[in-house]
Amino acid sequence: MELAKRDGSNIPKELWGAAIRKLKPVRVVSDRVNVKIVLIDSDRLEAGFYAVVPISSYVPSASDFSELTLLGEPGDAPSGTLYRYRIVKPQR
Protein backbone atom coordinates (compact mmCIF):
# COMPACT_ATOMS: atom_id res chain seq x y z
CA MET A 1 0.00 0.00 0.00
CA GLU A 2 1.26 3.45 -0.84
CA LEU A 3 2.18 5.52 2.19
CA ALA A 4 0.06 8.37 0.83
CA LYS A 5 -3.06 6.20 1.21
CA ARG A 6 -2.38 5.43 4.87
CA ASP A 7 -4.28 7.31 7.55
CA GLY A 8 -1.98 7.18 10.58
CA SER A 9 -2.51 3.91 12.39
CA ASN A 10 -5.99 3.38 10.87
CA ILE A 11 -6.26 0.28 8.72
CA PRO A 12 -7.91 1.08 5.35
CA LYS A 13 -11.40 -0.38 4.83
CA GLU A 14 -10.29 -2.35 1.79
CA LEU A 15 -8.02 -4.41 4.08
CA TRP A 16 -10.76 -5.34 6.58
CA GLY A 17 -11.80 -8.97 6.50
CA ALA A 18 -15.44 -10.04 6.14
CA ALA A 19 -15.78 -10.74 9.89
CA ILE A 20 -14.64 -7.21 10.75
CA ARG A 21 -16.87 -5.61 8.08
CA LYS A 22 -19.90 -7.40 9.57
CA LEU A 23 -19.30 -5.55 12.85
CA LYS A 24 -19.71 -2.23 10.97
CA PRO A 25 -16.86 -0.48 12.82
CA VAL A 26 -16.25 3.25 12.82
CA ARG A 27 -12.59 2.46 12.18
CA VAL A 28 -10.01 -0.28 12.68
CA VAL A 29 -6.69 0.72 14.23
CA SER A 30 -3.28 -0.93 14.23
CA ASP A 31 -2.00 -0.70 17.81
CA ARG A 32 1.58 -1.94 17.73
CA VAL A 33 0.90 -5.38 16.22
CA ASN A 34 -2.55 -5.74 17.81
CA VAL A 35 -5.85 -4.53 16.36
CA LYS A 36 -8.46 -2.22 17.88
CA ILE A 37 -11.93 -2.47 16.29
CA VAL A 38 -13.70 0.78 17.18
CA LEU A 39 -17.50 0.42 17.23
CA ILE A 40 -18.37 3.62 19.10
CA ASP A 41 -16.47 6.90 19.03
CA SER A 42 -18.03 10.03 20.48
CA ASP A 43 -16.81 13.06 22.38
CA ARG A 44 -17.14 11.13 25.64
CA LEU A 45 -16.60 7.47 24.79
CA GLU A 46 -14.67 5.07 22.61
CA ALA A 47 -15.59 1.38 22.72
CA GLY A 48 -15.20 -1.82 20.76
CA PHE A 49 -13.01 -4.91 20.58
CA TYR A 50 -9.27 -5.25 21.10
CA ALA A 51 -7.55 -8.26 19.51
CA VAL A 52 -4.13 -9.35 20.74
CA VAL A 53 -2.30 -11.54 18.23
CA PRO A 54 -0.18 -14.43 19.56
CA ILE A 55 3.15 -12.91 18.45
CA SER A 56 2.53 -9.62 20.24
CA SER A 57 4.79 -8.69 23.14
CA TYR A 58 2.24 -6.05 24.22
CA VAL A 59 -0.65 -7.18 26.39
CA PRO A 60 -3.16 -4.48 27.30
CA SER A 61 -3.67 -3.66 30.95
CA ALA A 62 -6.66 -2.23 32.78
CA SER A 63 -4.74 1.04 33.22
CA ASP A 64 -4.82 1.54 29.43
CA PHE A 65 -8.63 1.43 29.33
CA SER A 66 -11.60 2.51 31.45
CA GLU A 67 -12.94 -1.02 31.07
CA LEU A 68 -11.27 -4.14 29.66
CA THR A 69 -13.09 -7.47 29.63
CA LEU A 70 -11.55 -10.71 28.41
CA LEU A 71 -13.77 -12.57 25.96
CA GLY A 72 -13.11 -16.27 25.53
CA GLU A 73 -11.29 -18.85 27.59
CA PRO A 74 -7.71 -18.87 28.94
CA GLY A 75 -6.80 -21.74 26.58
CA ASP A 76 -7.69 -19.62 23.54
CA ALA A 77 -4.38 -17.69 23.69
CA PRO A 78 -2.60 -19.68 20.91
CA SER A 79 -5.12 -18.27 18.42
CA GLY A 80 -5.10 -14.77 19.92
CA THR A 81 -6.97 -13.05 22.70
CA LEU A 82 -10.06 -10.90 22.30
CA TYR A 83 -11.19 -8.21 24.72
CA ARG A 84 -14.13 -5.83 24.88
CA TYR A 85 -12.82 -2.37 25.76
CA ARG A 86 -14.15 1.03 26.71
CA ILE A 87 -12.34 4.35 27.09
CA VAL A 88 -14.11 7.26 28.78
CA LYS A 89 -12.63 10.44 27.38
CA PRO A 90 -11.93 13.42 29.64
CA GLN A 91 -14.41 16.26 29.45
CA ARG A 92 -13.23 19.29 27.55
pLDDT in tens, 36-89: 999 999 999 999 999 988 888 887 887 889 999 989 776 666 678 899 999 999
Query: Angle at CA 43, nearest 5°, toward 42 and 44?
Result: 90
Whether 20 and 6 have beta carbons less than 8 Å apart is answered as no
Predicted structure pTM score: 0.83
Determine the structural domain holding residue 24 and report its residue range. 3-88
Q: What is the identity of the amino acid at 26?
A: V
Task: State how far the Cα of 25 lies from the Cα of 20, in Å rounded to an integer.
Answer: 7
What are the strands, taking DSSP E only, across the chain?
A: 27-31, 34-41, 45-52, 67-71, 81-88
Number of domains in the chain: 1
Q: What is the identity of the amino acid at 8?
A: G
